A and B are shown apart, each in its own frame.
Chain A
């Protein structure tokens, strides 16, 4: 009998009154301004209702009043932790509609910045997950390392967080002379810190006790809720758009899709979801290494595109593998320079919807960890 069931039975024998607690929007560990209305029976969570919208900026409506290039900065502000990855599917959609061929160098550059940003995102995810479990030190180790990644991206794009780097048909900044060495440096640093955090946090017995077997998301439930990204892969489903539907030049690289194997605990629990992110960082390092090797250093970083971007009439859905899951943009064009309708399919929003399903019956402290293991960004959930 699992520990959870035992607790269930123990507590079902007691009569007690239930208490409703508001977790958020001002709470240290809701990762933003999420509000969870939690019903607890003592310490056991009996019901969770997430309330969204505290960061709603009406992104989709706003886009209808803006030209296509103007939308990119707004997309940065959706999932501000992995802005590079966010811009990609949108830019791909425009390029497909305009039928623009992107230069080879740009493709490699895009892969490198996107994977670097994926590492940065996973570093924050793992770090804040550790923070939710009460371990503060790995949090700052990861933030220290993330800074090196940000420096590279800043030198390329000029901004630290909201890059606005991807442009239709190219990117905004060319590589600089020390780019390759710096990338290799960062990879070495990421690997070193990961090895350290593995011992310090991930394989720490307390951490394993806290996270293994908690918040089990079975593959069926994950698919039914439309989960994607590390949340889905943590449940043992090897689904990754970079491999299953290779966009850009991902078919040229050799990398694995890490899935939750249940080394500790059960497949689909918080520990495995977190572990998938640890492994994905390593895979991103591998992709970056291969891309750096194959990338041509000379050449232009922009394709010839009209100054005023007008999409032909029609519609397109473009998706890419974001660090948090599958990010898609559905654009309906009416032939002008502004979209008729733009719909974003955000991975955080979809993944968040699974919380009430998987957090019932666990303890209140576990709920925080489950939320942390889903890795949401409220900028994208609320849009």
Chain B
């Protein structure tokens, strides 16, 4: 009988203890912030949307290899010596590769940061921008190449011409050096 009343009292008392705690919290300072108006400062190394600096990118494809989810598409064309449009990297050295296509699909990106770690020229880095949600998945497909499609076509054409010229020269040179050698057409 005594334990019966003791149990009732303990149950009642422990509820009161809890209510005392919650009562104190009613007047405590609130911790939430009004998000779009107030913002929490993100640390500078926060891993959010990726950003490519085309002036640094050498098109080495190490980021493509490092990406676990294959969200980077990278296409490059070598810079031809007689291209009228020559460019320097950010550090002053002349550009060796045209990046004709550098596209990232942030619908796939898992924000692991492995591409940033892999990049030898620090061309790719995370930004603190996380508010890029969109109603259309295609809006998450970011294109970082600076060349317009026409320019890219032009570079490809130049490279193809250069390649053909090189091959012709090589052939001519080879024929000059070794006249007995079989013709390439015969080999095919």
Contact = CB atoms under 8 A, between A and B. Distances in A.
B66 A205 contact: no
B68 A173 contact: no
Given A200-B22, A204-B14, A205-B14, A69 B113 contact: no
B114 A158 contact: no
Nearest to B65: A67
Contact of A199 (B18, B45, B117): B18
Contacts of B45: 155, 157-158, 173
A158 B43 CA distance: 7
Interface in B24-44: 25, 31, 42-43
B164 interface: no
Chain A at the B interface: SS class: helix
A204 B111 contact: no
B46 interface: yes
Contacts of A55: none
Interface string A172-191: 11000000000000000000
- Among B31, B43, B66, B110, chain A packs the most CB atoms within 10 A around the CB of B43
A136 B68 CA distance: 39
Contact of B14 (A73, A158, A203): A203
B137 to A, nearest CB: 20
Contacts of A9: none
Interface string B55-69: 000000000001110
A206 interface: yes
Contact of B126 (A158, A167, A205): A158
B114 A164 contact: yes
A173 B46 CA distance: 11
Contacts of B22: 137, 200
B47 interface: yes
Contacts of B126: 158
A26 interface: no
Given A158-B45, A205-B14, A164 B31 contact: no
Interface in B11-26: 11, 13-15, 17-18, 21-22, 25
A336 interface: no
A159 B17 contact: no
A73 B114 contact: yes
B126 to A, nearest CB: 7
Contacts of A200: 17-18, 21-22
A47 interface: no
A154 B48 CA distance: 11
Given A69-B66, A70-B68, A144-B31, A199 B114 contact: no
A70 B111 contact: no
A154 B46 contact: yes
B10 A162 contact: no
A242 B151 CA distance: 60
A137 B43 CA distance: 29
A205 B6 CA distance: 12
Contacts, number: 69
B66 A164 contact: no
Interface residues of A, number: 29
A205 B8 CA distance: 10
Interface in A190-244: 196, 199-201, 203-206, 209
Contact of A204 (B15, B42, B46): B15
B15 A73 contact: no
B105 to A, nearest CB: 16
A159 B111 contact: yes
A196 B28 CA distance: 14
B113 A158 contact: yes
A66 interface: yes
A72 interface: yes
Contacts of B42: 154
Contact of B112 (A137, A162, A199): A162
Contact of B113 (A66, A71, A155, A164): A164
Contacts of A167: 117
A370 to B, nearest CB: 23
A144 B68 CA distance: 33
Contacts of A364: none
Given A70-B66, A206-B11, A158 B47 contact: yes
Contacts of B117: 167, 172
B116 to A, nearest CB: 9
Closest 5 CB pairs of A and B: A73-B112, A70-B68, A205-B11, A158-B47, A205-B14
Given A66-B68, A157-B45, A199-B21, 15 more contacts: A69-B66, A73-B114, A76-B112, A137-B25, A157-B47, A158-B45, A158-B46, A158-B47, A159-B113, A172-B113, A173-B45, A196-B21, A200-B21, A205-B13, A206-B11
Interface of B: 10-11, 13-15, 17-18, 21-22, 25, 31, 42-43, 45-47, 66-68, 110-114, 117, 126
25 contacts: A69-B66, A70-B67, A70-B68, A70-B114, A73-B112, A74-B68, A76-B112, A137-B25, A154-B46, A155-B45, A157-B47, A158-B43, A158-B46, A158-B47, A158-B126, A164-B114, A199-B17, A199-B21, A201-B18, A204-B14, A204-B17, A205-B11, A205-B14, A206-B14, A206-B15
